[in-house]
Structure 1
Amino acid sequence: MSCYLGKMGNFTMSTPSLDTLIELGAIADAQGLQGQIKVRPHSTDPVALLSSKEIWLSLIPRRDAGVSASHEQASLRAYKVKQAKMHSGTVVMALDGVTDRDQALALKGARILVGREVFPKAQADSFYWVDLIGCQAKNLQDEILGEVIDMTEHGAHGVIAIGDASTKVIKQLVPFVKEVVQNVDLPNKVIILDWQSDW
């Protein structure tokens, strides 16, 4: 069982709602002289980032940094991905319209977002972390443990942060391993865990 968690400004693609976009990484630096960018992925297995043909860039910090959603929405820019490959723990991408090092450096710090609908289909017993956020966590005794409010990487496996979605207060951290996770029902947004409420 595992988790994954056109020309610049010119190619036509309607701007999606921020609520439908998933942040997959951030541009760390330029790579080489041909306009390639070096991306620091948020996942150790950035399959969605590597397979995306179109991405959105935002030079605005995360919304929780005090930037209004409307301002961030207006800052989004679409790019076609010409090539993406892994290189020493980062993803190196070539974007249509970014042709030299100066253009690539101008994008440093930008967040990379893609639509959830473009993610490749997850393999059996694998899940995208973004799909687990918001699921209700229950144990084998049918006790509600809380809601999945975050997922993080912890060495060899993921960790589910369970708590109160409205306050974002984490009550429990549960390893996302097959010995604990008994069932994931994404259509009904329920995860069954072999876990006690007082652990």
Structure 2
Amino acid sequence: MSTPSLNDLIELGAISEAQGLRGQVKVRPHSSDPVALLSSKTVWLSLIPRRDLSLSTVSSASAPHNSKASLSEYKVKGAKMHSGNVVMTLDGVDDRDQALALKGARILVARDAFPKADKDDYYWVDLIGCHAINLQKESLGEVIDVTENGAHGVIAIGELVKKEVRYLVPFVKEVVQSVDLPNKVITLDWQLDWQ
């Protein structure tokens, strides 16, 4: 299998720590319901090589960025939830030292490997780029991002290219009237002058 580009992969979490002595890793998922992460058979880890310690006194804004992120494929031997984290066993990671070497790695999965979503359920990544309109058919902009605030999802709408947010809209059934993923259109009960 050829290495995909970062644009073809979706980041689902990051390795926060080693778990136990047998090479398991503790993953902090980006979602409160990490179904795609738990069901993945293959993951990609993105590691940015450690910088020279002599650069540690240079601010991150002015430090040179000569290092490129590496992308490594791992087969998943097992994954389970434990105390709000996902504990994964990766093929080839057999002891605590190997697991600790992966600390900080971002976990990425190919979008086509996600389980099929139920009717009226959506992967947030699929909403990004959708055109948002209101009930009066007025354009609100494009979905730039989707986040979670604890109670519900929040969609950031505005100009996608500039990443300029105009509206932060709760992703709740009272506001979201319809989601048409094939046509990339979301209809919202939202007015142009609401901030």
TM-score, scaled relative to structure 2: 0.89
Who is 2:71 aligned against? 76
Distance 1:142 1:109 in 2: 44
Q: Does 1:28 align with 2:25?
A: no
Distance 1:194 1:113 in 2: 34
Matches within 5 A, 1:44-83: 44-60=32-48, 71-72=68-69, 75-83=70-78
Report the CA distance between 1:67 and its aligned residue: 5.5
- State the 4+ residue runs in structure 1 displaced beyond 6 angstroms: none
Distance 2:32 2:164 in 1: 26
Give the partner amino acid of 2:73. Answer: A
Q: Does 1:182 align with 2:177?
A: yes
Distance 1:67 1:142 in 2: 45
Report the CA distance between 1:124 and its aligned residue: 1.3
Distance 1:20 1:45 in 2: 22
Report the CA distance between 1:156 and its aligned residue: 2.1
Matches within 5 A, 1:38-187: 38-60=26-48, 71-72=68-69, 75-187=70-182
Distance 1:31 1:20 in 2: 29
| Equivalent of residue 16 in structure 1, options 4, 29, 35 | 4
Kindly indicate whether the alpha-carbon contact (under 8 Å) linking 1:182 and 1:192 is maintained by their aligned counterparts in 2: yes
**Larger relative contact order (CA 8 Å, sep ≥ 6):** 1
Distance 1:197 1:118 in 2: 37
Larger Rg over CA atoms: 2
TM-score, scaled relative to structure 1: 0.87
Report the CA distance between 1:166 and its aligned residue: 1.6
Give the partner amino acid of 2:80. Answer: K
Give the partner amino acid of 2:186. Answer: I
Q: Deviations over 1:137-194 (max 9, x none)?
A: 0000000001100001012210000011121111110000111111101011100001
Residue 67 to residue 22, structure 1, CA distance change in 2 (3 Å): farther
| Equivalent of residue 188 in structure 2, options 169, 182, 193 | 193
Give the partner amino acid of 1:78. Answer: E
Give secondary structure in 2 for the equivalent of 1:27: strand
- Identity over aligned pairs, percent: 76
Report the CA distance between 1:131 and its aligned residue: 0.1
Give secondary structure in 2 for the equivalent of 1:104: helix
Give secondary structure in 2 for the equivalent of 1:76: strand
